A and B are shown apart, each in its own frame.
Chain A
């Protein structure tokens, strides 16, 4: 079976700045593949290479077996692309935007209505509103409709949920699952680590390099330390105290808890609890927890930083 997306050893420089540093990855047909990393990690550059807008300096990138450099016209017919910024015509209405993009791909909204019905139904009441006057969540839905209207087999979504509130983000992911059901391969990038677990497989990317690839579960399972969730009052002094504590490898706050990493077999729960209570903190709880993707990302980013 041909991989839907195949990236082999791709690099891209802008002057002296290395945007992508020997990236390789493969996406299977019909999966939702997440590219997870902060701004400036190189996500957008990789997307632009894959949608044939940029040429890689070296390496090879294939979309459905077609080379991005050579067969770019064939690729352009088969893919849907939603760029990072809201990139539709603000002065055209919802319906006009959709019609326009449909005809640009040689099809019509009527022909593919079934394909976008579920999403379009949510914005159809506003079909005569100018796109510039839509709320963030609506704009995002419209952009997704425009990217889907020609029935692409591979969908590229570059940070579709950035700046979108938590509720709309949830909605958006539900839409992606429905699109996947129709057999569409989806490559999606996001700076939100919590969205990683929603993907089938992910690559963590930082400073132009992929620091880990796998299913979210695999990545979490490979976390090397033992992790405790610690809470207590006052919270910020507790954080500073934990960071100074000799047995603690790392400590970051996660919502109401601090995640404290220790070497397996060195410090137990009881030890830690006693240490904290002795220091005079109130309402202290310490529980062993499973790491999440964000813990893993920070750990891997650190390892990567130490390597280079």
Chain B
């Protein structure tokens, strides 16, 4: 595997809503297998940019590729080749654990046999074999999120997008969740993650910080801290985000 290969390439990506420019000519690359933190204040354009990268929204101008597929032309292919998990939408709480797995396996067109194999392996890995007949709604939040993450990876996507995956979870579960992220990254999956927890920003290989629709800075956490002479990412983030003009 070529470590230097860029799995996401974004070039002058812009999205306008009327005369409001939500995303303003941003360019960056994400390397294969890295954990890429995508930070930004509320309203900085993070969500808009992420929607375009997931093939849910079209750019106004500029563009790029995800896993080699064009953001403007190959939206369907992008959707089939990425994993996506958000805090808001993840699983159907009125379906059982295994039913959710089967459903999403089916959505990603896996064969019945491979869904079976994968779901067994997944449940064993998550230590949830005994819980497979539980309704997802009855699981504790931490379990739900772990399950949602594994299901987002059921079709072995080369990249997975995580939108605030750990919001509201207790500190220990949050860290166990990051273990899963690390494991996935070690096996070569690229992780694209947004978070409001600044300590989690430190776990990323590289971090970009969006302010007012542009990328204010992008680098490894250590380099950013050095550049802004900050003790932690929280300070870095605040220094950058305080420059924000718009609301």
Q: Which residues of A contact B (CB under 8 A)?
A: 37-41, 126, 134-138, 162-168, 170, 191-194, 206, 235-236, 239, 252-256, 294, 297-298, 301-302
Contact = CB atoms under 8 A, between A and B. Distances in A.
B238 A167 contact: yes
A165 B42 contact: yes
A167 B186 contact: no
B202 A255 contact: yes
Nearest to A41: B170
A255 B232 CA distance: 8
A167 B170 contact: no
Interface stretch (B75-83, B115-123, B146-154, B171-179): B171-179
B200 to A, nearest CB: 8
Q: Which 4 A-B pairs have the closest CB atoms?
A: A38-B170, A255-B202, A136-B42, A39-B168
B237 interface: yes
A253 B203 contact: yes
Contact of B222 (A137, A192, A256): A256
Interface string B229-247: 0001110011001101001
A238 B197 CA distance: 22
26 contacts: A38-B171, A39-B168, A41-B170, A135-B43, A137-B41, A137-B42, A138-B247, A164-B42, A164-B196, A165-B40, A166-B238, A167-B238, A192-B197, A252-B172, A252-B175, A255-B199, A255-B233, A256-B221, A256-B222, A294-B171, A297-B170, A298-B171, A298-B172, A301-B170, A301-B172, A302-B172
Contacts of B171: 38, 193, 252, 294, 297-298
A201 B173 CA distance: 25
Contacts of A239: 179, 182
Given A294-B171, A297-B171, A168 B198 contact: no
Nearest to B168: A39
Nearest to A193: B171
B157 interface: no
Contact of A162 (B167, B202, B221, B232): B167
B126 interface: no
Interface in B97-111: none
Contact of B141 (A39, A163, A194, A294): A39
Contacts of A235: 203
A168 B41 contact: yes
A162 B168 contact: yes
Interface residues of B, number: 37
A193 B171 CA distance: 8
Given A193-B171, A206-B170, A255-B202, A167 B41 contact: yes
**Which residue among B42, B169, B173, B241 has the maximum number of chain A CB atoms within 10 Å of its CB?**
B42
Contact of B237 (A37, A135, A167, A206): A167
A165 B168 contact: no
Contacts of A134: 247
Contacts of B234: 166, 194
A167 B242 contact: yes
Contacts of A167: 41, 237-238, 241-242, 244
A236 B182 contact: yes
Given A165-B241, A168-B41, A236-B182, 18 more contacts: A38-B171, A39-B141, A134-B247, A135-B43, A135-B247, A137-B247, A163-B196, A166-B237, A167-B237, A168-B42, A192-B197, A239-B179, A239-B182, A252-B171, A252-B172, A255-B201, A256-B202, A297-B170
Contacts of B173: 38
A297 B63 CA distance: 45
Contacts of B40: 165
A194 B200 CA distance: 13
A138 B246 CA distance: 11
B173 to A, nearest CB: 7
Contacts of B196: 163-166
A137 B201 CA distance: 21
